[in-house]
Chains A and B, each alone.
Chain A
């Protein structure tokens, strides 16, 4: 259904594999060959090239770029708002998944389908829609376009499906019998949620949060119309990178991009640790 769901499902399998022996059959070595080739062509080589380009400018260029006040402001805004939006998604996304799995109500199937729309919509179209709804003369009375609020608004829109789609299948698989048994043994609702449900959901929530964060820090399309790209106010990193490229400063663009890569990596690893911790505590 979505890449989020498959990713969450693939994780436990990966972990099991890591513990097993590594003598591959001819079939699986072909699979590994294809996987490694494909992954290298699409991800590893481009990433290496990016880092090399950034390094080509030398440390001076790196420091000069990253101490530029406008770039720093864009970095802070992007990373900060991505955290905020990811936190919102963890709570709201889990709630939506819960409602979709556990509750019966009119229009549930439709809601279930509509959740994926932000995935499918070209982001520039999303920006246009948000602009008409939250721009001047907003029918909702919320004139957020070109203000600081436009950034979390656009990010929340494009990242909404991630947590929902990672948590939903796990929640569906969850055995209600265990909860009933816990309840019959006298556990309260909070205890059941904290000790039984949350630990099972933690890997899925973390996976969704990681996807959501990674998507948010790289977002461009939905923001360019809505945020107004005002330096120090609503200019995000991707716009800054575009400016560097337009100005012919590829090394600076690559420097900023590697910083964003590092941030994404740190956050994804951190989420993995938190997820493991929550799962163990349960």
Chain B
């Protein structure tokens, strides 16, 4: 009996503690909780400052949380407070739509819900000693590729799909695309868990080419990383979606509207993101190959919607654990090596 009493006392104490912490977290009326993927941490600061300088943004306070896109999305699904979410790819928002946290019409705006954009690029050693100019150079014997793991990093899926798009977007068949991606995976020496870790591994001296995103490459060079990058002639457009949650503070909508103005897009451009609207005066983008003309338009720019039928189709077809094309190709290359 005493034992039970003691246990009850202990449990009550713990419950009291949790109750305290739960009640302590309610925010003021104009506090916006922003949940985003890691790269936005630095890029959002000037955007927040500019928003606060507008009429709509007066007095708004930002509370932020950044991390891997998938982790952040799962955190919001699990109850992390969010007024505005900004992820690296659409399935992470779709998860919240499925959970009734984001309205199903989130992607009906002028940019179809896309807030920032970039392209898949190749990062190479200074001077490009292996003469990597296009996708076909990647599968030459002896070229060592580093790309983040598409199984553990959602954003890494852009890279693999870009390799696939190089074949199917140029008139190739699916069989040819499989052959190409298989060789691509065969040359891959490391699949780090996230884009940032892949950059770290590459900076550590491993590999000849890192498959990355233009904004990631530009920011790394701004921070003094010594490597070159090149935009291949045909590549995939990366589209990062943002959305307001259903229960959000009304100011969140104002903030999202602001993000799609030239002022905010100019701030993002300084961190290597390509504008998603017209009429943006590009700043000097340090770290870009040509700071005055930072975003050269590739001859062919594929999109997930045009070439793959959107993420809902592509995700199942390519990345499902059981039936996906990429896990099967990984298994094939892994076993034959």
Contact = CB atoms under 8 A, between A and B. Distances in A.
A138 B26 CA distance: 51
A68 B190 CA distance: 21
Interface in A182-226: 224-225
Interface stretch (B2-10, B29-37, B38-46): B2-10
Contact of B3 (A29, A41, A68, A128): A29
Q: Which of A41, A231, A244, A249 has the most CB of B within 10 A?
A: A231
A186 B197 CA distance: 60
A239 B200 contact: no
B7 A229 contact: no
Q: Which of B95, B188, B331 has the most CB of A within 10 A?
A: B331
Contacts of B206: 131, 135-136, 145-146
B189 A33 contact: no
Contact of A24 (B2, B9, B191, B205): B2
Contacts of A36: 7, 10
A137 to B, nearest CB: 5
B117 interface: no
B325 to A, nearest CB: 14
A239 B152 contact: yes
B190 A247 contact: no
Contact of A229 (B74, B154, B193, B331): B193
Given A36-B7, A68-B321, A247-B321, A26 B2 contact: yes
A243 B193 CA distance: 9
Interface string A24-49: 10100110111011100100000000
A180 interface: no
A121 to B, nearest CB: 16
A70 interface: yes
A32 B3 contact: yes
Q: Which of A36, A232, A244 has the most CB of B within 10 A?
A: A232
Nearest to B335: A232
A229 B192 contact: yes
Contact of A228 (B151, B192, B320): B192
Contacts of A26: 2
B7 A33 contact: yes
A231 B330 contact: yes
B204 interface: yes
Interface in B281-321: 319-321
Interface residues of A, number: 43
B331 A70 contact: yes
Contact of B320 (A41, A131, A145, A247): A247
Contacts, number: 122
A42 to B, nearest CB: 10
Given A30-B9, A230-B334, A231-B334, A225 B321 contact: no
Contacts of A68: 321-322
Given A232-B335, A233-B334, A239-B152, A225 B327 contact: no
A230 B191 contact: yes
B336 to A, nearest CB: 9
Interface in B122-157: 149, 151-154
Interface string A83-110: 0000000000000000000000000000
B95 A229 contact: no
Interface in B1-24: 2-3, 5-11, 14
Interface string B184-211: 0000111111000100110011110000
B321 A249 contact: yes
23 contacts: A24-B3, A29-B2, A32-B3, A32-B6, A37-B10, A68-B322, A132-B205, A135-B201, A135-B206, A136-B206, A145-B190, A146-B206, A224-B192, A224-B193, A224-B197, A231-B191, A233-B337, A239-B152, A242-B152, A243-B152, A244-B321, A246-B152, A248-B95
Interface of A: 24, 26, 29-30, 32-34, 36-38, 41, 64, 68-70, 73, 128, 131-132, 135-137, 145-146, 224-225, 227-233, 239, 242-249, 252
Interface of B: 2-3, 5-11, 14, 70, 74, 95, 149, 151-154, 188-193, 197, 200-201, 204-207, 319-322, 327, 330-331, 334-335, 337
Sorted from nearest, which 3 A-B pairs have the closest CB atoms? A33-B6, A228-B190, A232-B334
